[in-house]
Chains A and B, each alone.
Chain A
Amino acid sequence: MTSPIIEIADLSLSYGADEPVLRNVQLTLERESVTAIIGASGSGKSSLLRCINRLVELKPQVRITGDITLDGQSIFAPEIDVTELRQRIGMVFQKPNPFPMSIFENVAYGLRLVGEKSTRVIEQRVEQSLRLAALWDEVKDRLDSQAGILSGGQQQRLVIARAIAVEPEVLLLDEPASSLDPISTLRIEELIYELKSRYTIVVVTHNMQQAARVSDWAAFMHQGSIVEYDNTTALFTNPREVRTEDYITGKFS
């Protein structure tokens, strides 16, 4: 690993009095690469992503210990502005969630939020983001239409365009293709491949073949712990841990 952008050190999380949901997670994310997090439902994958951009609510009963650093700085430091943090670390969810506004305004939304006033800059950035998200050709003639008329796959790419419009450093994708048909899924996977030359991407997926296809690094989570973390080829051809082996080969464990 040459240039880490995010380092997660001994991170534990509990939402309340119950068992902790994350246990001593150690993970170093390499810049401009794709890291996949795989694991059964409930193993804590989404919770981990939500920690990375501080989407986990800091309610009194929520306990987080350990640290996450972005470019060497703790994201939990008091001087961190959460809105700015989420601009640097964008997130896309399982179900496409376009805002009830036009295609154009969906992508422009984040730019306006961070105070961009120039119409020219906004137009440029919207086009650039839609192109990057491989959606431009499909929507360029109907930018003023409601986002809701797009197909599920198009909506997901629109949401990705919205996330990259504010030029984040990291993109967190939580099962970005699990509600999509196979062709739309391949488009998203292709997009992930295209985007990794500019962004650091973390993708949570319960589709193991998808993880094997899109990622450079892969982590297997089980009951809140990272069981194994390795380069994707090694993890999928020769895992070191029996629990990883059992999970990726689909065995009873």
Chain B
Amino acid sequence: MTALWPRIEPLLDRVEKPARYIGMERGAQVPIHRPDAVSWLLVYPDTYEVGLPNQGLQILYEILNERHDAAAERGYAPWTDLEALMRSRSVPFFSLDTHKPAGEFDVIAFGLAAELVYTNVLNCLDLSGVPVRAEARRDEDPIVVAGGHATFNPEPMADFIDAFVIGDGEEVVGDMTEVIGAWKRSGRVGGREAVLHDLSLIMGVYVPSMYEVEYDGMAIREVRPRYPDVPSTVDKRTIADLGEWPYPKNQLVPLIEVVHDRLNVEIFRGCTRGCRFCQAGMITRPVRERPLEQARTMVAEGLKRTGYDEVALTSLSSADFSGIGELVSGIIDGQEEACGNVGVSLPSLRVDAFTVGIASEIQRIRRTGLTFAPEAGSWRLRQVINKLITEEDLYAAVDGAFSQGWRRMKLYFLIGLPTEMDDDTLGIAELAKNVVEIGKRYTKAASCTASVGGFVPKPHTPFQWFGQNSSEELQRKVGMLRDATRKGGVKLSWHDPKATMVEGINSRGDRRIGKVIERVWRSGGVFQEWSEHFKVDRWIEAMAAEGLDIDWYTTRHRTGEEIQPWDHITAGLHKDFLWQDWQSALAEHGLPDCRWTPCYDCGVCTDYAIEHVVASPFAPAGGSQGTGQDLSIGGAVPVRFLSKPGVGVAR
């Protein structure tokens, strides 16, 4: 093994934030690479500060290193300053833990959380000395793997990735280690084709080179497996019981500040609120809660081990956890044992009184900002997207929050949703202004930020057929909102509509988009999610050079008959369920949450013989959000907490 540290060290005096590249975090491992074991380099293709907190990567890092037949290290994309120095001195991309060249690993696995990191994947491979196109790789080159939510449409990256993991990675990485290990020990008999073929037989693994895509003009005619034993549809992998996977056990504690710099404990996975725009909710069904006792232990031990003074209880809607009240009050009651104050944060809060109740318990000291996500400006449109928050609910929650000392509200919205009219868009300004009005009753300092993002339709959601708004149309709506919020104390922030367009190209793109990604990367387009590096012209030019029409990929409404590029990948959701739900959306009909009402057979549980793991049979009390059910039965969840002094601050 070659350690690159002596060649990296002299470069670090000349780069921004050199500690990005040193490793040594509490919880980091120094694995021993044995020749008969499979070595994995787990890469988050963005900066260290963005990538380090990624829980998926940390979970797999631990699971792999616990195996006797595997060893795993981590890598993050070097910032452009270090990259330039590395290229000028032929220093390859390296692992953080032992500074080993990436090209010496058996597997390089990328976590793809979103589309704009795609070009960074190519850059990391190229910096490793590995051919960026899968077809050019030789037997001794690493197997290039990708996982994460974005891989539910793997096609835009199909040219570059040998094998995609679809769904939960916990079990799959073990299966893959066995296949790759056996191949390696056999002396790589059968070559790359043999090991890729074997990988494609694992449930949850998609090997794009095992499939041929046939086109009919722009349309896809057929996606055909190249071998009879290769599945024609690739099912996602799902772990049935989160309680069996109490990871990460040793969350990494970075030496420099990173995003989400705190202890993170995942309290459940999956969400069946059924918001129709939300890919994360659709592809992670069903709901699997972590046992309360285990969550408690992970929080207590994690705080003790890391020295963090803040814990985030993570999930797609944390207030929905059956034991949320007990868990939060337990952490607050445990303060005496902990050193000083511990802050608790609950990402993705529901908009209701119950949520404000919890928030007021955990943010007792400094009540500055609270964030809610109504997502759309009118009740009509919220029915279309199945985010059933009434105006009364929002105002009651906001009133409760202001009356208890909060001063700043942040509201998240999407623009460009299906059936959206200007009245719906302007409703955003109206809601935000009313929020400020309510706040002014309590404090002069009341303010409200409305954050708007352009909607990108995602695969495996009921909106996968919808033609997204053009960037011009989104820009017009932003302009309209700016005019409407000039007075009234509302601050408006928005996501760049041009970036939304590029996300759209990749989100529902097919294999032909691979050449576009490669062109953008070759023209210098890396770190595309960073506004200082993003230039839309690179994408427009690359699409034109490949003879591809941006509108065809983004703003075109798709028909029910056409084969979508990801139709041979399934998250278990029946296509007719998605189509039916799309029709319900257009008819402005809501759909209840199947956690607490009868199953409507979306396909996930029935097809995979799994089910919800939820401790409480009742919907949470205190608000209407999400279901349209009679929530008055929801009294089983405690909404009051004991008062305890000395509670810390949560964000």
Partners in one complex: no
Residues of A within 8 A of B (CB): none
